A and B are shown apart, each in its own frame.
Chain A
Amino acid sequence: MIECRLTQHPIFIVDQGRSMSGLSGVTQSGPLLVHQYYHASKVLQQSQLVAMEISGDCEFLIHQPMWITVCGEEAQVSIDEQYVSMNQPLLVKPGQPLRIKELAPGTKLIIGLKARLSCMRYFDSICGVYRERFGGVANGKPMITGDIFHVDAIFEKPHFGMNPTNAITPYQTARYSVSLQSSKIDFVPNYQYQHFSLHARYLLTEQTMQVSNKADRMGLRLICDEPIPAPKQTASQALALGVIQIPPDGQPIVMGPDRQTHGGYPVIGTVPDYALAQLAQIPATKHFHFNQISIEQAIVNFTLYQSQY
């Protein structure tokens, strides 16, 4: 049993996402922090990993011995009042509290669990989307203070060889920490890009952007000083993960894993999966630029990231 004793923000239970849900008009969902999720999978040597996506201080009580890992931006992680390292496999013993503190505002973490939770699976996934009223804790709801998850199965200790730290390399922990890098977020021009004016395309890449406080797993709403003029779009279209929609107010929205299957705003391009995970970790106070790349370059970058897992 996993008990959420305290959380500042809702906690989303995620796995790899729903399978073949789009034909029913159902959101695919899945992790927003793709890299951290796959990193956690590698650390725990667990495919189809169940994880919790958190965005603030929280505390859990785990009632069964369980291997976990905490992946993402820097934070204070303690088990039974002892500080522990992130991005490593950790054994939590029954009754030991797991606490996460001092996570930078606007950033998120993944807690990977080497266990199977006792909750309903829809489209082969436990992801929940509140708008759709199914999955997650129940009826699509995220986890809040007081919620309890029962555990069906505990998986065995990951095999580390002689040294547990061999499971990962330091390179991986630094690589997805966007706050340590120049804040440029890659995007690939596609969808209605050709229908946007030269001025609109210029505004997308040449002015700074900020992630608004309204950003969530459905869409990362951005703020820019000069609104981006959008062409008229009448028909709804199928939305890929990471598409950049330009609504009438000219403030871009980058669509996340909990987006609806279709949307009617014109799309100027797509943020590749790896860059979406970086964008999701940019605090609201920090500025960034969009960096236009070709799909070929995006595939090369993606392949480099994937090679780590």
Chain B
Amino acid sequence: MTDSQFTMVNNNLPLEVQWVNPTTMMFSLNHSSADKNKSVAHIFCVMINELQRVFGTRLTNIVVGFNETLVHFEPNKVRHLDDINTAKQIINSIITSRYSHAEDPSLVISASHHQIGMSFSDEYDLQAVADKTQCSVKQLIEQFCSLTFTVILNGFMPGFPYMSGLPQHLQLPRLSTPRLKVPKGAVAIAETYCGIYPESSPGGWHILGTTEHVLFDIRQSPSATFQSGDTVQFFAIKSI
């Protein structure tokens, strides 16, 4: 990647910003997989708040990824040089604070904690996951309900939360053959993530159970129930 007026690569800090098209700026975070957890969500949350504060209504959209955040500007209001310089200042201040002043109160984000009732069911993959992780179904449910997940982003479909916090021994590859239909409300795990299907959809994750919690309501603002940085804990309302 070249460093130019429109690109910033900071070798000391694992963050860079560049224009990827004339209306879209990309912030990329190069981090090890060990860091791909709460801290990533935290950095992006702080960044989103700051971007919205600084750029205001000139922004038309923000899309958070696992390693990057896209920021879309209104075509008639984009100021390429000024905006990339402002972005550099934002990430410098955030990363500097993140690494040198971890307790900086300016980095506190307004995240919510959600307690989600869940019906565990052997209709899908509960037993198979227990077998693969070498524990009983009861132990699996207890372990799962003791975890606190952090919402990294909403993606794949409206309101689908990708949540980190799955311990290594519960991390499984996706199903070799995806299901054609995963039920609405399915709570599922794959690789390092836990997710909930807001609507029925094809999917290749291991389903542990279902929830009736509404994850996306287009009539509400915000429409997605979970926001990046929120924490989620499940409790069993029906166990087999």
Residues of A within 8 A of B (CB): 16-26, 28, 34, 38, 122-123, 132, 134, 188, 190-191, 194, 235-243, 260-262, 270-274, 295-296, 298-299, 301-303, 306, 309
Of the listed stretches B92-100, B101-109, B141-149, B215-223, chain A binds B215-223
Contacts of B114-151 to chain A: CB distance below 8 A: none
Choice from B19, B60, B62, B222 contacting A17 with Cβ under 8 Å: B60
Interface of B is mostly: mixed
Of the listed stretches B72-80, B164-172, B232-240, chain A binds B72-80
CA distance in complex: A134, B216 (Å)? 12
Q: How many residues of B contact A (CB 8 A)?
A: 46
Contact B6 A241 (CB under 8 A): no
Residue on B nearest A38 in the bound complex, by CB? B75
Contact B156 A23 (CB under 8 A): no
Contact B72 A299 (CB under 8 A): no
3 smallest beta-carbon distances between A and B, as pairs: A25-B154, A302-B22, A238-B65
Which residues of B lie under 8 Å from residue A18 when comparing CB positions? Answer: 61
Which residues of B lie under 8 Å from residue A25 when comparing CB positions? Answer: 153-160, 216, 224
CA distance in complex: A125, B59 (Å)? 15
Q: Is B210 an interface residue (CB 8 A)?
A: no
Given A23-B228, A240-B24, A272-B21; A262-B155 close (CB under 8 Å): yes
CA distance in complex: A303, B18 (Å)? 17
Contact B20 A191 (CB under 8 A): yes
Contact B64 A24 (CB under 8 A): no
Given A17-B60, A194-B1; A306-B75 close (CB under 8 Å): yes
A261 to chain B, nearest CB (A): 5
Contact A270 B20 (CB under 8 A): yes
Which residues of A lie under 8 Å from residue B222 when comparing CB positions? Answer: 23-24
Contact A240 B6 (CB under 8 A): no
Contact A22 B61 (CB under 8 A): yes
A274 to chain B, nearest CB (A): 8
Contact A238 B19 (CB under 8 A): no
Contact A309 B76 (CB under 8 A): yes
CA distance in complex: A243, B63 (Å)? 14
Residue on A nearest B2 in the bound complex, by CB? A294
Contact B63 A261 (CB under 8 A): yes
Q: Is B231 an interface residue (CB 8 A)?
A: no
Contact A298 B70 (CB under 8 A): no
CA distance in complex: A23, B72 (Å)? 12
* 22 A-B pairs with C-beta separation under 8 A: A17-B60, A20-B61, A23-B64, A23-B154, A24-B158, A25-B157, A26-B158, A26-B223, A122-B218, A122-B223, A190-B26, A194-B1, A235-B66, A237-B66, A238-B64, A238-B155, A260-B156, A262-B156, A271-B21, A272-B22, A298-B21, A303-B22
